[in-house]
């Protein structure tokens, strides 16, 4: 097989997601097999667009993110290059011409990165889709989800669209994501309250390694399968109150684990608490909305279309909120025309 006539460049737009049931802890660090399955919603509006071009004249891999050239020895660049090497390895196995060429990667996010908004999920998914296409690999959605997973757990889910379940699996081939409901199944909105733009001090990758040190981790694992079933049932029934209550409880359980890990991870900022209290207040006034937070300080507030404007206004008016971003349920990654 050869790929002489295939374009060596591809550009992909991938959306981030918000986990309703969180992925926390890995049973296999190298393969990135999670301790438990997770469920998320893709977020159209929190997107990464990445171009990957392979070329025989390139002397090394090059990476630019949000207009800045990233130093090739930085942790960020090394993670990208490791993934490019994985993809080059697959191309070599398939006997594709130019499998060993260096790549130029240019990536742009529509939202602040490294602040707890899963930019590694959308970023690594876009990288996987674009690099695989540019190098000439023909992979199924399942294969792309498995490949994305090895770069970032969240990317395993971002590789598919709509309402997503990541099956934890015991082997690399059985740990992948699938769409459980398509994006048009239910119109949910996510208003993201940005309370800080600074890079979070602990990455999720580091945090995962201490998950098991919390005394609550074992209890979480006992109940998580049932929680996943419940969340899927509430989505199927479009029962927003039950879904929102479960999602908030899950967020608080997840942060209880962070707080009681060794070393403890205290990630919230004063603005995080201000948003939580406003969400609780809005609910007493009949405005249905629920919060959830990943490993960071910025807050996702889930609501229904009829409350979107009110929720956004209330959150924007808070003294510690710097910006609000609105997302709808997103689809699968898209190849863009050059
Ligand atoms: C709290 O996917 O960022 O957001 O696999 O090391 O890249 P790596 O970790 P990452 O972890 C995400 C953790 C979370 C929960 C979630 O999104 O499920």
What percent of the chain clears pLDDT 90, i.e. is strictly above it? 92
For residues 26 and 300, what is the distance between their CA atoms, to the nearest angstrom?
A: 24
Q: How far is the CA of 176 from the centre of ligand 1 (A)?
A: 14
Give yes or no for residue 16 CB within 6 A of ligand 1. no
Q: How confident is the model at residue 337 (pLDDT cuts 50, 70, 90)?
A: confident
3-state secondary structure of 39: strand
Q: How far is the CA of 30 from the centre of ligand 1 (A)?
A: 15
Asked whether residue 213 carries a pLDDT value surpassing 60, the answer given is yes
What is the reported pLDDT for 51? 98
Q: How confident is the model at residue 7 (pLDDT cuts 50, 70, 90)?
A: low
Q: How confident is the model at residue 119 (pLDDT cuts 50, 70, 90)?
A: confident
pLDDT, tens only, 183-211: 999 999 999 999 999 887 888 889 999 99
Asked whether residue 1 carries a pLDDT value surpassing 90, the answer given is no
Q: How confident is the model at residue 295 (pLDDT cuts 50, 70, 90)?
A: very high
Closest approach atom of ligand 1 to CA 32: 5
What is the reported pLDDT for 159? 98
Q: Which of 17, 18, 23, 78 to mutate to test the pocket of ligand 1 (most atoms within 8 A of CB)?
A: 23
* Predicted TM-score of the model (pTM): 0.96
Cβ neighbours for 100, distance < 8 A, ≥ 6 positions apart: 88, 92
Give yes or no for residue 177 CB within 6 A of ligand 1. no
What is the reported pLDDT for 202? 84
Q: Could you give the residue ranges of the DSSP H alpha helices within 260-329?
A: 270-284, 308-316
Give yes or no for residue 242 CB within 6 A of ligand 1. no
For residues 234 and 243, what is the distance between their CA atoms, to the nearest angstrom?
A: 5
Closest approach atom of ligand 1 to CA 151: 7
**At 235, phi and psi to the nearest 5?**
-65, -45
Give yes or no for residue 148 CB within 6 A of ligand 1. no
Q: Which of 48, 153, 157 to mutate to test the pocket of ligand 1 (most atoms within 8 A of CB)?
A: 153
Asked whether residue 3 carries a pLDDT value surpassing 70, the answer given is no
């Amino acid at each position: 097989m050869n790929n002489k006539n295939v374009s060596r460049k591809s550009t992909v737009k991938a959306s981030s997601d918000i986990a309703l049931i969180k992925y926390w802890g890995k049973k296999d660090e190298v393969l990135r097999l999670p301790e438990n399955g997770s469920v998320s919603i893709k977020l159209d509006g929190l997107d990464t667009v990445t171009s990957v071009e392979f070329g025989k004249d390139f002397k090394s891999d090059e990476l630019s993110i949000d207009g800045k050239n990233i130093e090739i020895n930085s942790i960020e660049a090394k993670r990208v290059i490791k993934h490019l090497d994985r993809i080059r390895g697959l191309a070599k196995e398939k006997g594709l011409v130019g499998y060993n060429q260096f790549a130029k990667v240019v990536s742009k996010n529509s939202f602040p990165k490294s602040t707890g908004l899963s930019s590694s999920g959308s970023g690594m998914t876009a990288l996987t889709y674009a690099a695989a296409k540019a190098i000439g690999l023909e992979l199924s959605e399942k294969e792309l989800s498995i490949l994305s997973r090895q770069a970032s757990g969240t990317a395993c889910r971002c590789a598919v669209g709509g309402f997503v379940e990541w099956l934890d699996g015991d082997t690399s081939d059985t740990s992948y994501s699938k769409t459980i409901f398509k994006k048009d199944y239910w119109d949910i909105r996510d208003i993201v309250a940005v309370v800080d733009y600074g890079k979070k001090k602990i990455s999720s990758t580091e945090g995962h390694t201490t998950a098991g040190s919390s005394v609550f981790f074992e209890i979480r694992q006992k109940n998580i399968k049932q929680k996943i079933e419940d969340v899927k049932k509430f989505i199927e029934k479009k029962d927003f109150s039950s879904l929102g209550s479960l999602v908030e409880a899950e967020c608080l359980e997840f942060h209880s684990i962070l707080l009681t890990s060794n070393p403890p991870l205290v990630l919230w900022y004063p603005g995080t608490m201000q948003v939580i209290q406003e969400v609780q207040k809005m609910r007493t006034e009949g405005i249905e909305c629920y919060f959830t937070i990943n490993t960071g300080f910025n807050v996702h507030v889930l609501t229904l279309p009829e409350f979107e404007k009110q929720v956004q206004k209330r959150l924007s008016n808070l003294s510690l909120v710097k910006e609000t971003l609105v997302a709808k349920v997103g689809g699968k990654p898209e190849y863009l025309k050059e």
